[in-house]
Amino acid sequence: MWPLIGIVVIVIGFALRFNPLLVVVVAALASGIAAGMDPLSVVATFGKAFNTNRYVSAPWIILPVIGMLERAGLRERARDLIAATAAATIGRILIAYLLLRQATSALGLTAIAGHAQTVRPLLAPMAEAAAERADPAITDAGRQKIRAMAAATDNVGMFFGEDIFLAVASILLIKGFLEANGIVVAPLQLSVWAIPTAVAAFVVHGARLWRMDRRLARR
Amino acid sequence: MIGLPFLYTIAGVLFAGWAALTLADRTHPKRLGSAAFWGLLALSFLAGDMLGDLGNGVLVLALVAIAGTGNLARGSVPTSSVAEREASATRHRNRLFLPALVVPAVALIGTFLFKYVTLAGAPLVDPKQVTLVSLGFGMIIAVVLLIAWLRPPAAAPFHEGRRLAEAIGWPIILPQMLASLGAVFAAAGVGQIVGGLAGQVIPDGSVFLAVLVFTLGMAGFTMIMGNAFAAFPVMMAAVGLPVLIGTLHGNPVIVAAVGMLSGFCGTLLTPMAANFNIVPAVLLELDDRNAVIRAQVATAISLFVFNTLLIWGFAF
């Protein structure tokens, strides 16, 4: 039971809003020591994993491109384009993005969009411009809600689209796990069973976006 | 063969550039601390394989010490003014979207084409890392195009990257840190203990409650680990295989596929999934670090209920 102490550290540390990097290191030390490892070998285990997991941070190399585009006014252009298109309401913009994100993820193209690549430079300014037209008196808190919903839409679209693609990591993990336990399944069967939830995600999240549109339009 | 080392070199050079620019920025509020942070990160990406496990561990502790004591901060980076951006947006109009599409286009084309490119019988690009490597090529091509088209100052790619990286701050390494925590948790046997506990609470005789323990376990353990991939083997071994598939003869395809998607509902609800939930809150300059999670709660809970009912209704 004692190795679970790391989970307790994480929950309490995040709830009390300590710096999450510190919380993570303390949680690792707590769980490792509770499991009978000596502190130095916990540090070494963590360091080894940090080195192997560098690929997690590698996509940040996109930042110079996004920064240079922002320097050239990409966010302003995205905003102006939406401001000039009367049919582009916030609900329609986000629903279209949700559909596009689900469809491209289902084709295995998860890397073509994301929070740094598309949400910050394109989707968020577009959504804000549309919200501003629907409600010119929108507050800063209201704008932040719109931006948060843009990020949420990207996550929902990707999570519940990618599993339809045959070669995605999670499908391969499931196939590998079942095979190791003597159950042979075809990746296609697994991806077919990702479709009902993908449809439900589009309906549920799309309905929330549509209601958001109605709420803003009534103001 | 071109693989991850190629990407790590690009990233390492970028981080080293940020460290040098920070060091040269006399007005930076936390000049030395911030320069050390980016410098250490550059060291990790350029020479991490030569540092040894303990060396890497000490490097992580140093990064955390700098960031945890507030010594990583934003400086004033030279960039364009609001008026210049408005003018540029009016002048270039929709052509500005084209370079933004270069990176995804190259990633897409590279993913398909590099499979067929070989050099002396070996694949030119590591087949397992084709998308990430293509992303690296896309980034280089986009930067070159932007420099040729817009003629910004020569250091602009480094300055602009640093401007965004400083705006993100310490969350920039949080996803990698959480992935590493997962490795320590695995070494400490956390997964087996949680799985054992979940296996004990299954009530006898109720298919629905057994399904609910499984999906709740998937979502809950995903929230703890920040990753459904870590939760899946644990909950499958504890509940999915022995109870749902074994005793109750559930369809393994539906149990496993929809079980994974129940885990994804947990991903939408946890700060531990930092790259999906915390990093965007910082990138979009939201005051509430959990604002993205709040926006996802209603969708996540609805889909969780849907997935639970889907398994219960169709797997048995």
Which of A11, A21, A71 is the closest to B64 by Cβ? Answer: A21
Structure token digits, residue A88: 């582009």
Q: Which domain holds residue A30?
A: 2-56
Q: What was the pLDDT predicted at B206?
A: 87
Asked whether the beta carbons of residue B188 and residue A152 sit closer than 8 angstroms, the reply is: no
Asked whether the beta carbons of residue A174 and residue B139 sit closer than 8 angstroms, the reply is: no
ipTM of the complex model: 0.89
pLDDT band at A40 (very low <50, low <70, confident <90, very high): very high
Question: Is residue A10 located within the same domain as residue A91?
Answer: no
Question: Is residue A38 located within the same domain as residue A92?
Answer: no
pLDDT band at A167 (very low <50, low <70, confident <90, very high): low
Residue A196: list chain B partners with CB under 8 A. 306, 310
Q: What was the pLDDT predicted at B294?
A: 97
| Mean local confidence (pLDDT), A202-213 | 96
Q: Return the number of other C-beta atoms located less than 10 Å from residue A219's C-beta.
A: 11
Chain B CA closest to residue A173? B229
- Contact between A212 and A91 under an 8 Å Cβ cutoff? The reply is yes
Question: Chain B interface, mutation test: which of A61, A177, A189, most B Cβ atoms within 10 Å?
Answer: A61
Asked whether the beta carbons of residue B257 and residue A194 sit closer than 8 angstroms, the reply is: yes
Q: Where does a domain end: A18, A35, A56?
A: A56
Which of A47, A61, A65 is the closest to B56 by Cβ? Answer: A47
Conformational region of residue B72, where left means phi above 0, alpha means psi within -120 to 50, and beta covers everything else: beta
- In this complex, is the C-beta atom of A133 within 8 Å of any C-beta atom belonging to chain B? no
Question: Is residue A24 located within the same domain as residue A72?
Answer: no
Residue with tokens 């590099």: B114
For chain A, give the percent of residues with pLDDT over 70: 99
- Contact between B229 and B220 under an 8 Å Cβ cutoff? The reply is no
Chain B CA closest to residue A166? B257
Question: Is residue A88 located within the same domain as residue A38?
Answer: no
- Contact between B244 and B214 under an 8 Å Cβ cutoff? The reply is yes
Average pLDDT over all residues of chain A: 91
Asked whether the beta carbons of residue A71 and residue B160 sit closer than 8 angstroms, the reply is: yes
CA distance A87 to A74: 21
Question: Is residue A52 located within the same domain as residue A81?
Answer: no
Distance from CA of B118 to the nearest CA of A (A): 22
Question: Is residue A67 located within the same domain as residue A139?
Answer: yes
A76-86 as b/e, with b when 16 or more CB fall inside 10 Å?
bbbbbbbbeee
Backbone angles phi, psi at B118, to 5 degrees: -125, 155
User: With a CB-CB cutoff of 8 Å, which residues 75-94 of chain A face chain B?
Assistant: 75-77, 80-81
Asked whether the beta carbons of residue B93 and residue A77 sit closer than 8 angstroms, the reply is: yes
Q: Where does a domain end: A11, A39, A56?
A: A56
Question: Chain B interface, mutation test: which of A174, A175, A179, A195, most B Cβ atoms within 10 Å?
Answer: A174
Residue with tokens 């839409």: A153
Q: Pick the closest to residue B234 from A7, A189, A23, A157 (CA basis).
A: A7
CA distance B200 to B197: 5
Question: Is residue A45 located within the same domain as residue A144?
Answer: no
Question: Is residue A44 located within the same domain as residue A78?
Answer: no
Question: Is residue A179 located within the same domain as residue A126?
Answer: yes
Asked whether the beta carbons of residue A64 and residue B136 sit closer than 8 angstroms, the reply is: no
Asked whether the beta carbons of residue A20 and residue B274 sit closer than 8 angstroms, the reply is: yes
Backbone angles phi, psi at B123, to 5 degrees: -60, 140
What's the structural domain count of chain A?
2
Backbone angles phi, psi at B2, to 5 degrees: -85, 125
Conformational region of residue B125, where left means phi above 0, alpha means psi within -120 to 50, and beta covers everything else: beta
CA distance B55 to A47: 7
Question: Is residue A30 located within the same domain as residue A110?
Answer: no
Q: Pick the closest to residue A121 from A77, A85, A181, A82 (CA basis).
A: A77
Question: Is residue A92 located within the same domain as residue A48?
Answer: no
CA distance B207 to A60: 45
Question: Is residue A49 located within the same domain as residue A114?
Answer: no
Q: For A75-130, what is each residue's pLDDT tens digit?
A: 999 999 888 888 899 999 999 999 999 998 888 777 778 898 899 999 999 999 99
The alpha-carbon radius of gyration of chain A (Å, integer) is 22
Asked whether the beta carbons of residue B48 and residue A54 sit closer than 8 angstroms, the reply is: yes
For chain A, give the percent of residues with pLDDT over 90: 60
Q: What is the residue-level pLDDT of chain B in tens, covering all 316 positions? A: 888 899 999 999 999 999 999 999 999 999 999 999 999 999 999 999 999 999 999 999 999 999 999 999 988 888 999 999 999 999 998 898 888 888 878 877 887 788 788 888 888 888 777 878 888 898 999 999 999 999 999 899 999 999 999 988 998 998 899 888 888 888 898 888 888 888 788 777 789 999 999 999 999 999 988 888 888 988 898 889 989 998 899 999 999 999 999 999 999 999 989 989 999 999 999 999 999 999 999 999 999 999 999 999 999 9
CA distance B191 to B262: 18
Q: Where does a domain end: A18, A36, A56?
A: A56
